[in-house]
């Protein structure tokens, strides 16, 4: 009986050692989705990080206003036990640029994302270098959505049709006003930042992504991908998040 118990304990301890976060790494990762999407798209990245012992939290931003989205993000950040790697996709990059000023945030990761400067308006930044996609439409009450007929081409061209069809049907409409709020303080000015440029992006121009990452002096990786790089290339995204988790604060 004792030998069986010892064997069971050894198996449990051995299993735990495989998934334990390496010593000295940041353990807590907070993922923020962007416009026209919800947090479920982060599942492939979350699975990779969870298997490696990271504590992963996914923010469901309401997309009703920039202030609401920042509050939803800081609410989750403040629930973490230790320092945080804060990750944003697309419009989520604007959110983490503001929310990243929270004292718990140690580093930032921008995934095919907006990376505005202090005082900059995300919507104006998008107009600086327009994207190839033209499918964004307004509703009568001030929200934006992507025309389902071009959703796959403009947002997720490298995902299966059945998946993009569902994403188009389930997309979250974003308040147009959310893109019109200036950043009060860009967190990347004082904290380490990392970025992925999606070279086939039709929602944010890849040249704009390169401009923003260079301006912020972010450690940047380029991936041949659509805007939905966090879904189609989760391994590369998770690897960059891990690099951020190993980087000491400025």
Give the C-alpha separation, 193 to 101, whole Å: 13
Domains: count for the chain: 1
Distance separating alpha carbons of residues 7 and 204, to the nearest angstrom = 54
Residue 42 placed within a domain: yes
Q: What local confidence, expressed as pLDDT, does residue 236 receive? A: 98
What pLDDT was estimated at residue 11?
A: 35
Q: What does DSSP say about strands 193-198 and 84-89: parallel, antiparallel, or unpaired? A: unpaired
- pLDDT, position 14: 37
CA distances from 164 to 12, 33, 35, 148, 246 (A): 40, 16, 15, 9, 34
Torsion of Cα atoms, 78 then 86 then 121 then 70, to 10°: -20
Report the pLDDT value the prediction gives residue 24, as an integer from 0 to 100: 60
The answer to whether position 18 is within a domain reads no
Mean pLDDT over the full length of the chain: 92
CATH number for the domain spanning 199: value is 3.40.50.1820
- Tens of pLDDT, residue by residue over 61-86, are 999 999 999 999 999 999 999 999 99
Kindly report, residue by residue over 133-183, the tens digit of the pLDDT.
999 999 999 999 999 999 999 999 999 999 999 999 999 999 999 999 999
Is residue 123 over pLDDT 70? yes
Residue 157 belongs to a domain: no
pLDDT at 163: 98
Residue 147 lies in a domain: no
Please report whether residue 91 resides in a domain.
yes
Looking at the domain assignment, is residue 85 inside a domain?
yes
Token pair of 85 as six digits: 């790697």
pTM over 0.75: yes
Q: Which positions ≥6 away from 110 have C-beta within 8 Å?
A: 88, 93, 96, 193, 194, 195, 196, 212, 213, 218
**Region 36-61 average pLDDT:** 98
Q: Kindly state whether residue 64 falls inside one of the protein's structural domains.
A: yes
Q: Which of 230, 232, 220 is nearest to 195 (CA)?
A: 220
Q: Is residue 235 part of a domain?
A: yes
Residue span of the structural domain in which 206 resides: 23-134+172-245
């Amino acid at each position: 009986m004792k030998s069986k118990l010892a064997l069971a304990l050894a198996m449990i301890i051995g299993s735990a050692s495989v998934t334990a976060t390496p010593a000295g790494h940041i353990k807590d990762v907070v993922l923020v989705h962007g416009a026209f999407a919800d947090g479920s798209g982060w599942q492939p990245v979350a699975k990779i990080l969870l298997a490696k012992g990271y504590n992963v939290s996914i923010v469901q931003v309401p997309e009703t206003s920039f202030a609401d989205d920042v509050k939803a993000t800081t609410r989750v950040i403040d629930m973490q036990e230790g320092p945080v790697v804060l990750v944003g996709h697309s419009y989520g990059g604007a959110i983490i640029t503001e929310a990243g000023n929270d004292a718990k945030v140690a580093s930032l990761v921008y995934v095919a994302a907006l990376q505005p400067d202090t005082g900059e308006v995300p919507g104006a930044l998008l107009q600086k270098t327009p994207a190839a996609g033209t499918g964004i439409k307004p509703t009568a009450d001030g929200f934006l959505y992507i025309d389902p007929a071009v959703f796959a081409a403009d947002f997720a061209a490298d995902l299966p049709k059945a998946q993009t069809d569902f994403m188009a049907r389930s997309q979250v409409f974003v308040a147009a006003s959310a893109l019109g709020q200036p950043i009060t303080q860009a967190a990347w000015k004082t904290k380490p930042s990392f970025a992925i440029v999606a070279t086939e992006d039709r929602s944010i121009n890849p040249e704009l992504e390169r401009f923003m990452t260079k301006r912020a002096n972010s450690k940047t990786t380029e991936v041949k991908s659509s805007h939905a790089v966090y879904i189609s290339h989760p391994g590369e995204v998770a690897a960059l998040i891990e690099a951020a988790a190993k980087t000491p604060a400025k």
